[in-house]
Amino acid sequence: MTYPIELRNVSYYYSPGTPLQVAALKNINLKIGEGELAGIIGHTGSGKSTLISHFNGLLRPVEGSVIIDGEDLAKDKETLRAARFKVGLCFQYPEAQLFEETVARDIAFGPKNMKLSDEEINERVKKAAEFVGLKPELLEKSPFDLSGGEKRRAAIAGVMAMEPKVLVLDEPAAGLDPGGKNEILSMISEYKKRTGCTVVLVSHSMEDIASVADRVIVMNAGTIAMDGTVDEVFSHSAELRSMGLNVPEITRIFIRLRELGYDVPADVYSVEKGAQILREMIRRRSV
């Protein structure tokens, strides 16, 4: 069985062999399957960014192996190069990396590096821009004339245009207003639905992860502290809080009600589900 992403006993140290050596990843074993939408969550410094930098070989493990689409990245240069295109990484505040004269050329940068034909590149740029909701007339503008939200979309489109098998997004909604944030998140779900690609979403926000992911991987101190469905992970909210993570307000309300002796589940994280349960309790009470 091959997985788009597989890490076997991966450890990574910063400043290895010096007194300043810091273990950023400790013996990580992780498989992310075809078509999964996995969320990675953890506080600053928990190892999230170091972890995703291994997915396309930007960082090489000090110990262990990274196997992308069945191929060990340590095999040879070609395998490593292929991984850069198979796994598209979109870092935090990606708009800071826009640099071309026009939006279209910026989106085309990745596909160009893949040595595709001009025709194919144009096609992909159009498709990616349309997907992220950038109007065609914006394509010939300078990326610096776009609004904050548009710049973010252009940067994400640049990674999507490479049509990677795995799309990895680090905090794609950071700094956006609630409306912009919801748009980006539903765009990500839609992308997964439409392309069937594997998507990895890295975030500080439990609310964001809960709203789109099938699976949640919790990083803490360089290790995978939890790995399960959204429901499973949220039922351990006390542990999540001890790891510096925040559970959604709704979950906090249900945990408190449980502490007070009410018979309610602890894994409630959406307003709809919470309202449904409470409405039923209130109804029973008034009968």
Partner 1 sequence: MREKLIELKNVTYTYEADEEGAPGYTAVRDVSLDIYKGEFVAVLGHNGSGKSTMAKTMNAIFEPTQGTVTVNGIVADSEEKGNEIRRIVGMVFQNPDNQIVATVVEDDVAFGPENLGVEPSEIRRRVDDALKTVGMYELREREPHKLSGGQKQRVAIAGVLAMQTQGIILDEPTAMLDPTGREEVLKTIIRLNKEMGITVVLITHFMDEAVHADRVVVMDGGTVIAEGTPQEIFSQEEFLKAHSLDIPQTAQLCRRLGFEECILTPDECVEKLTSVLGGAAQ
Is there a contact between 4 and 68 (Cβ–Cβ < 8 Å)?
yes
**Residue 127 contacts partner 1 per CB under 8 A:** no
- Give the range of 19-27, 70-78, 121-129, 199-207 binding partner 1 by CB under 8 A: 199-207
Q: How far is the CB of 106 from partner 1 (least distance, A)?
A: 17
Residue nearer to partner 1 on the CB measure, 18 or 44: 44
Q: How far is the CB of 245 from partner 1 (least distance, A)?
A: 6
Element (H, E) at 200: strand 198-203
Place of tokens 């597989």: 6
**Residue 257 contacts partner 1 per CB under 8 A:** yes
Is there a contact between 12 and 94 (Cβ–Cβ < 8 Å)?
no
Element (H, E) at 283: helix 271-286
**Residue 20 contacts partner 1 per CB under 8 A:** no
Q: Which of 23, 114, 176, 226 binds partner 1 (CB under 8 A)?
A: 176
Q: Which of 51, 53, 69 is nearest to 10 (CA)?
A: 51
3-state secondary structure of 47: coil
Which residues 6+ apart lie within 8 Å of 86 measured at CB?
A: 4, 56, 68, 69, 164, 165, 166
Q: Which of 81, 113, 133, 144 binds partner 1 (CB under 8 A)?
A: 144
- What residues numbered 37-66 form the site for partner 1, per CB under 8 A? 43-45
Residue nearer to partner 1 on the CB measure, 82 or 174: 174
Distance CA(201)–CA(212), nearest Å, equals 9
> Which residues are near partner 1 by CB under 8 A?
43-45, 142, 144-145, 147-149, 174-181, 204-205, 207, 244-246, 248-250, 252-253, 256-257, 260-263, 271-272, 274-275, 278-279, 281-282, 285
